[in-house]
A and B are shown apart, each in its own frame.
Chain A
Amino acid sequence: GQNIDQPTEMTATEGAIVQINCTYQTSGFNGLFWYQQHAGEAPTFLSYNVLDGLEEKGRFSSFLSRSKGYSYLLLKELQMKDSASYLCAVTPRSSGAGSYQLTFGKGTKLSVIP
């Protein structure tokens, strides 16, 4: 089976840096995604890691350690608009006919305060 854990809520100050952690246990692994979801809206893609290491995209960075089943999303120079839920998701299978379905964590609700 699959199990994905991430903190339920976090609060951070505008302009600061915040790290959202995600740990996972899956029967197979083909990559880890981070999505941002504002209240009442669809998830939007932030990052994808399949190899160990850090991927940087502007103010957002994502790190993966496959041996530890661990990832984090790093948000720098926080803005009020970054207040949202951040979803960690894993693709547990890889095959030619694989569905590449995503297994999501419950999400971390980030509140950015002035």
Chain B
Amino acid sequence: DTGVSQDPRHKITKRGQNVTFRCDPISEHNRLYWYRQTLGQGPEFLTYFQNEAQLEKSRLLSDRFSAERPKGSFSTLEIQRTEQGDSAMYLCASILGPLSDYGYTFGSGTRLTVV
């Protein structure tokens, strides 16, 4: 595996339903990030894991959002009781160790549409 994988690529859900997204980072990368991007905006930080520990959460991450990385490998992002404002591209990114010249590797994202 040479990249960050995200599943599904697209998700359409009705308002009020729960959704879960999965991210598989590059295997040796210990830092994993979730970002959200709406149309015409840059990505916004949601949360960060180092190995299995969730070390930082943005104020954007309301109580309806929860993220896990149970074994320090893949991660899931769950949104409960979805709202139309949750419609966005959800991006996962990973990086190995401290900041490097190679930046973050982003996955292709999950595009969520709440109808």
Contacts and interface: CB of A to CB of B under 8 A. Distances in A.
B91 A42 contact: yes
A48 B42 CA distance: 17
B33, B42, B109, most chain A CB atoms within 10 A: B42
Which range holds the interface residue count of chain B?
20 to 34
A28 to B, nearest CB: 13
B98 interface: yes
B17 to A, nearest CB: 24
A42 B101 contact: no
B106 A48 contact: no
Given A48-B101, A105-B42, 16 more contacts: A33-B103, A42-B106, A42-B109, A43-B91, A45-B103, A45-B104, A45-B105, A48-B102, A100-B31, A100-B99, A101-B33, A101-B45, A101-B56, A102-B45, A104-B44, A106-B41
B48 A102 contact: no
Given A41-B108, A45-B103, A91-B99, A103 B45 contact: yes
A45 B102 contact: yes
